[in-house]
Amino acid sequence: MKANIYIVIFIGFLLSVTSCTLERESFNEIYPENFFRNEDDVNKALAALYHMPFRMGYGSFYGVDEYSYQVASDFMAGTMGSRWVDATGVAQYQEHRWEENATGGYAKNFSERIYSQYNRLTSIKETIKRIEAAPITDGLKIKATAEAKCLYAWIGFILYDMFGPVPLVTDEALANPEAKILIPRLSDQEYCDIMIGYLDDAIAGGLPIRQDNDWGRVSKGMALMLKLKFHMVNRNFTEAEKVARELYGHRNSSYNLMDNYRDIFNKYNVKNKEIIHAIPCGLADGMQNRTIIQFYPVRWKQDRQCWFTFGMHWKFYDTFEPEDDRLNSVVTDYVSINGEVCNRTTGFLKEAAAIVKVDDHTYTGGEYCSVDLIVYRFADVMLSLAECINENNGTPTQEAIDLVNEVRARVNLPALTAVQTAGKEAFNKAVLNERLHEFMAEGLSRQDKIRHGVFVSDSKAQFPNSQSAEHKVRLAIPSKYILESEGVVKQNPGYTTGN
In a domain, 492, yes or no: no
- Tell me, what DSSP letter sits at residue 56? S
Cα of first residue to Cα of last residue in the chain, in angstroms, is 23
Provide the pLDDT for residue 14: 35
**Residues in a beta bridge with 330:** 355
In a domain, 174, yes or no: yes
Q: How far is CA 134 from the centre of its chain?
A: 32
Instruction: Count CA atoms within 13 Å of residue 480 on its CB side.
Output: 10
In a domain, 106, yes or no: no
Query: What domain range includes position 47?
Result: 3-51+117-207
- Tell me, what DSSP letter sits at residue 373? E
In a domain, 440, yes or no: no
| Rounded CA separation 128/114 (Å) | 23
Provide the pLDDT for residue 27: 40
Provide the pLDDT for residue 23: 43
pLDDT tens series, the chain, 499 aa: 443 343 333 334 333 433 334 443 444 444 555 568 888 999 999 989 987 788 777 778 998 888 899 999 999 999 999 988 765 678 899 999 988 776 667 777 888 889 999 999 999 999 999 999 999 999 999 999 999 999 999 999 999 999 999 999 999 988 888 888 999 999 999 999 999 999 999 999 999 999 999 999 999 999 999 999 999 999 999 999 999 999 999 999 999 999 999 999 988 898 999 999 999 886 444 467 888 889 999 999 876 778 899 999 999 999 999 999 999 999 999 999 999 999 999 999 999 999 999 877 666 666 677 788 999 999 999 999 999 999 999 999 999 999 999 999 999 999 999 999 999 999 999 999 999 999 999 999 999 999 999 999 999 999 999 999 999 999 999 988 999 999 999 999 999 754 3
For the chain, the domain total comes to 1
Report the CATH number that the domain containing residue 141 is assigned in CATH: 1.25.40.890
Provide the pLDDT for residue 15: 37
330-331 sheet: strands from edge to edge: 80-81, 311-313, 352-355, 330-331
Whether the CB-CB separation of 411 and 324 falls below 8 Å is answered with yes
Helix 138-163 vs helix 105-115: angle between axes, to the nearest 10 degrees? 150
Contacts of 289 (CB under 8 A, 6+ apart): 56, 64, 281, 282, 358, 362, 368, 369, 370, 371, 372, 373
Provide the pLDDT for residue 288: 72
Helix 220-233 vs helix 138-163: angle between axes, to the nearest 10 degrees? 30
Provide the pLDDT for residue 5: 40
| Rounded CA separation 282/370 (Å) | 6
**Quick one: the chain helix, strand, coil %, rounded to 5?**
45, 5, 45
Q: What is the CA radius of gyration of the chain?
A: 22
In a domain, 319, yes or no: no
| Rounded CA separation 142/140 (Å) | 5
In a domain, 154, yes or no: yes
In a domain, 192, yes or no: yes
| Rounded CA separation 110/159 (Å) | 12
In a domain, 193, yes or no: yes
| Rounded CA separation 346/178 (Å) | 60
Provide the pLDDT for residue 104: 64
Buried b (16+ CB within 10 A) or exposed e, 354-363: bbbbbbeebb
Amino acid letter for position 63: G
Contacts of 152 (CB under 8 A, 6+ apart): 121, 124, 125, 128, 195, 198
Q: How far is CA 465 from the centre of its chain?
A: 27
| Rounded CA separation 250/219 (Å) | 13
Provide the pLDDT for residue 89: 75
Helix 378-393 vs helix 237-248: angle between axes, to the nearest 10 degrees? 140
| Rounded CA separation 176/182 (Å) | 12
| Rounded CA separation 444/69 (Å) | 10
Report the predicted TM-score, pTM, of the whole model to 2 decimal places.
Answer: 0.92
**Phi–psi pair at 177, nearest 5 degrees:** -65, -20
Buried b (16+ CB within 10 A) or exposed e, 210-245: bbeebbbbbbbbbbbbbbbbbbbbbebbebbbebbe
